[in-house]
Amino acid sequence: MSIKILHIDSNHPILWQQLEEAGFENHADFKSSKEEIESKIQDYNGIVIRSRFKIDKTFLDRATNLQFIARVGAGLESIDCEYAETKGIHLIAAPEGNRNAVAEHSLGVILSLFNNLNQADAEIRAGHWNRESNRGHELDGKTVGIIGYGNMGKAFAKKLRGFEVEVVFHDILENIGDENARQVSLEELQKKADVLSLHLPWTPETDKMVNADFINAFSKPFWIINTSRGKNIVTADLVKAMKSKKILGAGLDVLEYEKLSFETLFQDKNTPEAFQYLLEAKNALLTPHIAGWTFESHERLAQVIVDKIKAVYL
């Protein structure tokens, strides 16, 4: 039987090419609405997505012949995974594909914040030569705390091996420490960390996890990096902590205000006050969800997805 796959987002061409060479039947629809896709999804055995819309119960009930959902990305939060599994649908993601990109980005953000690189660059361009106000900090001797020690967290810890830092992490899974980082309780991480880096999925447990109570539990002022999901941080509480100097700087590749598709930034007519502060803050480094979005990861993500689909059938 021919396996028909519907691609609803564009990806690296090797994904389509290699699936075709392996005997799968590819179809593309990058523009139709969710409702229009639902009207024909019963004709397909597989679907390849990024994040254009949520795969919910309504969609899955229409997908009567669906055997797998492959997301070209790290997380599956745009899919009702529990319901999909009750229907025997195989779920595929590719966190291996962009873990190195996320790790390199996280390291770059820390070094930029520590050395005021974005601020200093902007001042030079404006004609200002301010050395003392741009005096930086060294990573050497600091403690980096990682929350979430999956593909991304482990890759980031590995990148830190060249620095004289202590790396600790907290994770809901037990006994997963390695030569790059030591597993600790959340309380110990909050006591020791000079830098906090989030590498978490967005789940009911992690939603709004970084709030005022969480921040105030840290023993000393710290820098925070978020390359995971924007809704894991309460932005208003983050900004209050930045104003009080409890948070020394924030590198945010993801924002609470992002749409689920990650393709646009949700803003109504009035920019939220907390977001306006971030836009103007010299110690905030903001990027548009690009930590895992390199030229190399674009191809690697596609290859991981191809390999995993083929492993299901071949």
Q: Return the active site residues.
A: 229, 258, 289
Cα-based distances in Å from 100 to 40, 42, 106, 229: 37, 36, 10, 17
Dist. CA 101–CA 109, nearest whole Å: 12
Dist. CA 207–CA 33, nearest whole Å: 28
Q: What phi, psi does 70 have (nearest 5°)?
A: -115, 120
Cα-based distances in Å from 70 to 62, 96, 303: 17, 14, 12
What residues form DSSP beta bridges with 196?
145, 224
Nearest by Cα to 117 from 125, 227, 175: 125
Helices assigned H by DSSP within the chain: 13-21, 34-38, 57-62, 81-86, 95-114, 117-125, 151-159, 186-192, 212-216, 235-243, 273-280, 295-313
Residue with tokens 């990058």: 30
